[in-house]
Amino acid sequence: EAQVTQNPRYLITVTGKKLTVTCSQNMNHEYMSWYRQDPGLGLRQIYYSMNVEVTDKGDVPEGYKVSRKEKRNFPLILESPSPNQTSLYFCASSFGGGRGYNEQFFGPGTRLTVL
């Protein structure tokens, strides 16, 4: 089944404790992206990747890191989480990037709470 998976789905952590949220897709998509969703703000893009070893900042990259060492995986790293990073996080993937027909397929989401 074609899908985007994220782990964990729920996470409660404390300020400053490094964490990684994994994202994996099995559709051989070049483009992958991370978003956070907060009430009243819609989705905001954190980072995106056009292909292996190619990443760039979205609108809200501060406090986050990413890497793209393999085409299928795009982990999101919070080196020192803070309470303002409490949010619902979505990973998404698509063929190509902004070019061509490129609907994004979204993962199930990760609800993160930072105390």
Partner 1 sequence: ELKVEQNPLFLSMQEGKNYTIYCNYSTTSDRLYWYRQDPGKSLESLFVLLSNGAVKQEGRLMASLDTKARLSTLHITAAVHDLSATYFCARTTSGTYKYIFGTGTRLKVLA
CA distances to 33, 49, 72 from 110, rounded to whole Å, are 14, 19, 18
CA distance 13 to 32: 25
Of 55, 54, 56, 35, nearest to 46 by C-alpha is 35
CA distance 26 to 35: 19
- Applying CB under 8 A, which of residues 63, 67, 105, 113 lies at the interface with partner 1? 105
Q: Contact region for partner 1 (CB under 8 A) — 19-27, 40-48, 67-75, 79-87?
A: 40-48
Decide whether 56 or 79 has the Cβ nearer to partner 1. Answer: 56
Of 52, 95, 47, nearest to 70 by C-alpha is 52
**Does the footprint of partner 1 cover residue 99 (CB under 8 A)?**
yes
**Does the footprint of partner 1 cover residue 95 (CB under 8 A)?**
no
Strands 87-94 and 110-114 turn out to be antiparallel
**Does the footprint of partner 1 cover residue 58 (CB under 8 A)?**
yes
- Applying CB under 8 A, which of residues 64, 74, 89, 90 lies at the interface with partner 1? 90
**Does the footprint of partner 1 cover residue 50 (CB under 8 A)?**
yes
Decide whether 14 or 54 has the Cβ nearer to partner 1. Answer: 54
Q: Contact region for partner 1 (CB under 8 A) — 16-24, 69-77, 79-87, 98-106?
A: 98-106
